[in-house]
Structure 1
């Protein structure tokens, strides 16, 4: 084999090898169950969500003069106002584009707005990463002493930087994880619309049963 032939063969092998290295493994498709789990995590950490439930009865919509009934996946209550929400994958949108376009942004006959939550809206950054980081701390054990110190500090100071709030922790190995674990319990609120940073704002989250005279 001539030297030129050897060089040509080597070049073709390098090209094929580089092509294989450049290929990315296909990503697993986003499932509806995965989207629902992500959506529930967002609602769990969002202090503006007062209630989240599955509607028991179908809602009625007037779409192009036609009376359509539909049972939404969820009903969210914010500020006393209810919104109906469906969770849809990209495949759902491709299979039913006209239906999605007709219902999205509509209002039911009883006045409840209807919207769709998609892959792009549920997994929008930086919120998606922030929620994942917070939920990863859910199982962090927080002692009674650390719990009281964190909450008392927030009661005294109001909103605090995450790094300052974590400084009250004495027993838990990771002070930041301790604060975020309380966020998973619904005891403190963290701004999930921004990345987790030292200056991330933390505040006490008022709960329906937090009134000391309630019992």
Structure 2
């Protein structure tokens, strides 16, 4: 497929995507334009942002030629090991067979998946991701970061309520959300909604 043809098909796909703003607006791992086809696609982006194995992701991926039918997946995902995954949200109506899309992805040393709805909406991960991404644009000052990481080094883990006391230079909830999103600390996003009792641990670097 020629470069000019690829560019034209990608422009067409982008023009057909919704110009609505879906919430939350912030992202931390998205590269390039933030253009979501639906709220369900936006929800997938939330899950990608809190997946530690995901290094980066892009909306409206490079076109795939699936047996003569052009398919632009909702996402192109890059993991920490250098692999590429083309991903569609659960509400996507495919113009080509999923097997044909997967075969084309495999031809260029990538993978393809159409997500199941349960992968996004079962459990508490999406709810917690949405809460955290409200603070995606926030940067935690060095002093607050050092105070919290030092406390976690001393104690191993701390309840979230105790961690909030380390923030003297910025708003505590925004500060701790930013540190979670940027991989300095971790919490269990699947067990329950984030609460004062949620255990916070430092991520080894």
Aligned equivalent of 1:84: 86
CA contact (8 A) 1:188 1:204 kept: yes
Once residues 134 and 84 of structure 2 are traced to their aligned partners in structure 1, the CA distance between those partners, rounded to angstroms, is 30
Q: Which structure 2 segments of 5+ residues have no match?
A: 1-35
For residues 105-129 of structure 1, the C-alpha deviation after alignment (integer angstroms, 9 at most, x for no partner) is 6552123221123544333321111
Give yes or no for contact 1:53–1:75 (8 Å, CA) kept in 2.
yes
Q: Does 1:178 align with 2:175?
A: yes
Superposition CA RMSD, Å: 3.7
Question: Which structure: larger Rg?
Answer: 1
Q: Report the secondary structure of 2:166's partner residue.
A: coil
Structure 1 residues 70 and 32, CA gap change in structure 2 (3 angstroms): closer
Correspondence 1:36-185 to 2 at 5 A: 36-54=41-59, 57-61=62-66, 66=67, 69-80=70-81, 81-89=83-91, 92-93=92-93, 96=94, 99=96, 102=99, 108-117=106-115, 119-138=117-136, 142-154=140-152, 160-172=158-170, 175-185=172-182
SS of the residue corresponding to residue 52 of structure 1 reads strand
Q: Measured at CA, do residues 101 and 140 of structure 1 come closer, stay the same or move farther in structure 2, by a change above 3 Å?
A: closer
Q: 1:143 to 1:111 in 2, by over 3 A?
A: closer
Structure 1 runs of 4+ off > 6 angstroms?
Answer: none
Q: Deviations over 1:50-109 (max 9, x none)?
A: 121357643355xxxx565533232212232211112342xx44xx5x945545765521
CA contact (8 A) 2:65 2:101 kept: no
Q: What is the TM-score normalised by the length of structure 2?
A: 0.59
TM-score by length of 1: 0.57
Quick check: 2:71–2:96 contact (8 Å CA) kept in 1? no
1:172-211 matched pairs, under 5 angstroms? 172=170, 175-195=172-192, 196-197=194-195, 198-204=197-203
Aligned residues: 166
